[in-house]
Amino acid sequence: QVQLVESGGGLVQAGGSLRLSCEASGGSFSDYGMGWFRQVPGKEREFVAGISRFGLRTYYSDSVKGRFIISRDNAKNTATLQMPSLKPEDTAVYYCAASWITTPSPETRDKIYWGQGTQVTVSS
């Protein structure tokens, strides 16, 4: 079973940028599609971005498309979410997600392995 550890969250002003990293262990990294979700109190965890096992396909929610970039390095067992041009509405706990063979998506929540989450706060 894969274990995921996120890093890179923090406090930033609107318009600033952050880079989240997710390090995986305990499995063959290239067997897993990777993704990022985020959650604010009282709301459902929402899909942000996903990347296929070898990085050939990427997917984004409408709210981050054109701003955030998801990538992965299978040699280093890491997935990354670059977040430029941050907005206050991007404030949330961000969770790294892994799915065996498939890419994490809202439709595959029951098959997702989760990290512990990292807080991202964007001040106005």
Q: What would the pLDDT profile of 47-82 be if each residue is shown by its tens digit? A: 999 999 999 999 999 999 999 999 999 999 999 999
Alpha-carbon distance values, 13 to 21, 38, 85, 90, 115 (Å): 20, 18, 10, 11, 25
> How confident is the model at residue 1, as a pLDDT?
85
> Cα separation of 40 and 59, whole Å?
21
Mark the ranges of the chain whose per-residue pLDDT is less than 50: none
